[in-house]
Structure 1
Amino acid sequence: MTRLATLVLTALLVFAGPQLARAEETPRAAAERIIRAQMQAFQADDAGTAFSFASPDLQVKFGSPANFMEMVRTGYAPVYRPQAVEFRDLVDTPRGPDQQVFVIGPDGKGYIAHYIMQQQPDGSWRISGCYLEPLREESV
């Protein structure tokens, strides 16, 4: 019986451990993890993975990973192909937490990418919007 209990406990830790860790994750840590993962998906041109981090409303709006990726590629080059990324403040707003990310775009100019985060009914977080604020002082 001891061996069976050990196997069950091991299985629970292996399969539930990552979910338990995320349940205790702060909104800032979740935002940074999600945004980094989406940026990595952009770098790999992995539309499906990048799209998976978008909120359900954004997924409905764009309809497909290909449409979403085309919008990012053509309208959000600083987050699609950043030269540098630095996470800054997480600010509470009426729309949801705004994770501010300093990026240097492929044009060498600095921007603050404002990622609006949305907590889902299951407690997970998704990106519900992003807008770019061009900066004059910070660039390459």
Structure 2
Amino acid sequence: MFFRFACLLLSMLLFSGVSRAEDPVREAQAVIANQLSAFASDDAETAYSFASPNIRSIYRSETQFLDMVRKNYPPVYKLGNYAFGRSKLVGGGELVLQEVLISGEEGQDWTAVYEMRLMDDGSYKVNGVRMKRNTTSEGI
């Protein structure tokens, strides 16, 4: 009886890990949402934790990173409403390109295209963002 229970428990754990790994878009979107929430709270430490090693090599501190976002990505930093647009997987999910449609200040609309990289530990990190002004989702 114990053996069956242990096998059932092991199967549940294995399948829950597999299903999670099979949804890279949802995982990438969760990271983006968490980083946007951190920006809204001026939580530099948390926002920086979602940056890829590439980004961290350029901006070596949380403060430098947050200052760069404030200066270069105000629609992302001073976020109004947003929604996820289209996404594109490259490879087996090693790279996810994710549109984020942003309604910015003073009625200006933006599209941010996030490049999300899969790390060795299975997490996704933000590896770059391209901003387009007054655009609609046209694909990636």
TM-score relative to the length of structure 2: 0.77
Cα 1:20–1:111 shift into 2, 3 Å: same
Residue 75 in 1 paired to residue 72 in 2? Answer: yes
Give the drift of 1:96.
Answer: 3.0
Cα 1:57–1:22 shift into 2, 3 Å: farther
Q: How does 1:6-21 map to 2 (within 5 A)?
A: 20=17
Residue 110 (structure 2) aligns with: 111
Aligned AA (2:115)? I
Give the drift of 1:93.
Answer: 5.4
Cα 1:27–1:137 shift into 2, 3 Å: closer
Q: Where does structure 1 differ by over 6 angstroms across 4 or more consecutive aligned residues?
A: none
Residue 96 (structure 2) aligns with: 97
- SS, match of residue 122 in structure 2: coil
Unaligned 5+ residue runs, structure 2?
none
Name the count of aligned residue pairs.
Answer: 127
TM-score relative to the length of structure 1: 0.77
Residue 121 (structure 1) aligns with: 120
RMSD across aligned C-alpha pairs, in angstroms? 2.9
Aligned AA (2:100)? V
- SS, match of residue 35 in structure 1: helix
Cα pair 2:111 2:135 within 8 Å, conserved: no
Question: Partners in 2 of 1:87 and 1:128 — Cα distance?
Answer: 17
- SS, match of residue 97 in structure 1: strand
Cα pair 1:116 1:129 within 8 Å, conserved: yes
Cα pair 2:27 2:124 within 8 Å, conserved: yes
Give the drift of 1:105.
Answer: 1.5
